[in-house]
A and B are shown apart, each in its own frame.
Chain A
Amino acid sequence: MLAILGWSLLKIVVMLGFAVGLSAVLTWMERRQSAMMQDRIGPVRANIGKLRLKGLLHPLADALKLLFKEDFIPPRARKGIFVLAPLLALIPVLLVFAVIPFGPPLCLDAWRTVGPDLAACRPEPLQIAHIDIGLLFIFAVASLGAYGAVLAGWSSFNNFGLLGGLRAAAQMLSYEITMGLAVVGALLVYGTLEPMELVQAQATLWDWGIVRQPLGFVLFLCAAIAETKRAPFDIPEGESEIVGYFVEYSGTRFMMFYLAEFLEIVFVGCLVATIFLGGWQAPGLADDGLRLFGHYLPLSHGVVVLARVLTFFLKVFLLCFLQLAIRWTLPRMRFDQLMRLGWKTLLPASLFNVVVTAGVLLAAQAAR
């Protein structure tokens, strides 16, 4: 019992540490990366003594600043809901990391062995919670995040906030469907809803979701970015038109929205990596060592697991980078165009994807 508790705690620490740590880094990256894309320097001023780290201390400074800022609640706001909304935005996105596998099953006793028999040593899956319907859990919990935005906008007693909240509700509901349908293709291919099994099924590059489901990948990425309310789908914020649902928030509460946004980026990265990019699988890295172009390098179990964990983190990081790059390149869509894209383009395309996938699978079954 104690061991299970210990393992769970350790995994929670690793996964959430990674997610929260990366999202903190992302706040810095968002600025520095955009600066580099825009021929600027970006913020480099925060420092402790002479320690500047190219501005890496800025997230720290931001957090401190936001913590000590005045906590302002508009006089005519619905106070209870106003206070609740940021939590509603933050907590679901923290929950979903529970089912993301960040590494292969680990057999701690056999970490020196090359290619141990995992079935024999009762491996510990590097995943906080092993749930058979993991993906459904993800969608179920993630969709709760919409309430945060809607309630924040509504309870602020601000017209701009209200518009932002309404937009958020419509947008997140619409794209939820596409997002779900886009995954269905992958589920059909791999035949499981459990993320760990999904990843294990993508053992070779050929098995990766992006190869098997290229359309599904694009659709999912698109819908996922829309779910996270990032450019070009940042309509609920639309800072140059309606500022956004969190217009009245400040201090710690604003920080929660802020953190939730970056956690969502990490989350989307994790999800895309898991479903379409082979999760912790790295091309050529097998259970017993590195097999590349006919060469074989034996590696012990511990090393392999570590390499795979790092692979997963690297993939997530690169996906985050891609999301930031998109955000700093594209203009914002208009609300009706967004709806049209969602319902008239992405939804039919994802249905089409499901039908075609199912057809191909049926044909393949029939042929076998």
Chain B
Amino acid sequence: MAKIVTIKRTFWDQLYLPGVVRGLGITLRHFFVNTFGSKEIETLRYGEWDRPDPPPSSDPDAWRGKQKQRLRPERFRGRHRLMKRDDGSVRCTACMMCATICPANCIHIEAGERESPTSRSVEKFPLRFEIDELVCVVCGLCVEACPCDALRMDTQEHLPPVEHRRDAVLDREQLLSRAGVSIARDGGDGEDWRERYDATIGEARQIYRPDKQGHDDATIGYRRKPSS
């Protein structure tokens, strides 16, 4: 069903003035409303406001309010951070998944071996872990690719402007400075992980691939012939 949108000029259009007056009416209305009345200005003063605490997600005014601070949504991809284990050590095992999937090649990891692992399956850890936030394209694939919940982008922060490019290369300590303890336990420990997950998933602020996503076996459609 097509709808022809072409318009024809009327005599009033030809007079210039009605259009001009109508336009002036609209722009001047905005002027007076913004100058003297309730403001419709939504400009955010970048750099002049601090990051507030994340709002309760159900409060729409907090999300896009008329206040000076812009509140970022929960899924906002901000600067990276590394997570910690219960014992305070870095969660990352230098598996290089993030570095592998990174389209910008901004992650550099050097693996090391722990002499005496404090818990099971953490004999490998990152000696160096650097992310160049200026090279980063903030696509979030690294978070999605991390199989240990070690890397996250949920800091709700932009990287602040830096004086030198080298300041934007975050090393392991800087990434760990905002670390939290993940509720995810890797290593296949215990039979009850499914139940524990259901109980605690509310707190897990996993942005991608929320663990409660629906399973629908009927959608398994494609079977590739295995090859050697």
A binds B: yes
Contact surface of A with B, Cβ cutoff 8 Å: 33, 36-41, 218, 325-326, 328-330
Across the interface, A39 reaches (CB within 8 A) one of B17, B20, B28, B41, namely B41
Residues of chain B within 8 A (CB-CB) of A329 are: 20, 23-24, 26-27
Q: Residue B40 at the A interface, CB < 8 A?
A: yes
Contact B30–A39 (Cβ < 8 Å):
yes
Residues on the A chain within 8 Å of B100, using CB: none
In residues 194-216 of chain B, which contact A (Cβ within 8 Å)? none
1/0 per residue, CB under 8 A from A, across B5-30: the answer is 00000000000010010011011101
**Would you give the shortest CB distance from A36 to chain B, in whole angstroms?**
4
7 contacts between A and B (CB under 8 A): A37-B27, A37-B34, A39-B42, A41-B43, A325-B24, A326-B24, A329-B24
Query: How far does the Cβ of B60 sit from chain A's closest Cβ, in whole Å?
Result: 20
A39 and B40 form a contact (CB under 8 A): yes
Which of chain B's residues have a CB closer than 8 A to the CB of A38? 30
Chain A residues lying within 8 Å of B34, measured Cβ to Cβ, are 36-37, 39
Chain B contacts of A326 at CB under 8 A? 20, 24
Task: Collect the chain A residues with CB atoms within 8 Å of residue B20's CB.
Answer: 326, 329-330
Minimum CB–CB distance from A72 to chain B (whole Å) comes to 30
Instruction: Quote the shortest CB–CB distance from A134 to chain B (angstroms).
Output: 30
Contact B43 A325 (CB under 8 A): no
- B43 A36 Cβ-Cβ under 8 A: no
Assess the A325–B28 pair: CB atoms within 8 A: yes
With beta carbons under 8 angstroms apart, the residue of B17, B28, B42, B45 that contacts A37 is B28
Known: A36-B31, A39-B42. 19 other contacts (CB 8 A): A33-B31, A36-B34, A37-B27, A37-B30, A37-B31, A38-B30, A39-B30, A40-B43, A41-B41, A41-B45, A325-B24, A325-B27, A325-B28, A325-B31, A326-B20, A328-B27, A329-B24, A329-B27, A330-B23
Binding site for A on B (CB under 8 A): 17, 20, 23-24, 26-28, 30-31, 34-35, 40-43, 45
**Among the listed B17, B24, B30, B42, which residue makes an inter-chain contact with A36, where contact means beta carbons less than 8 Å apart?**
B30
Q: Which residues of A contact B23 (CB under 8 A)?
A: 329-330
10 tightest CB-CB pairs across the interface, nearest first?
A: A36-B34, A329-B23, A41-B43, A37-B31, A37-B27, A329-B27, A36-B31, A39-B40, A36-B35, A37-B30
Residue of B nearest to A42 (CB): B43
A38 to B45, CA, bound (A): 16
Which A residues are in CB contact (< 8 Å) with B40? 39
CB distance from B36 to the nearest CB of A (A): 10
**Bound CA–CA A328/B24 (angstroms):** 9
A36 contacts across to B, CB distance below 8 A? 30-31, 34-35
Q: Which residue of A lies closest to B29 (CB)?
A: A37
Q: Which residues of B contact A325 (CB under 8 A)?
A: 24, 27-28, 31
Interface centre among A33, A38, A328, A329 (most CB of B within 10 A): A329
Query: Looking across the interface, which residue of chain A has its beta carbon closest to that of B20?
Result: A330
Q: Which residue of A lies closest to B34 (CB)?
A: A36
In the complex, what's the smallest C-beta–C-beta distance from B9 to chain A, in angstroms?
Answer: 14
Closest CB-CB distance, A85 to chain B, in whole Å?
32
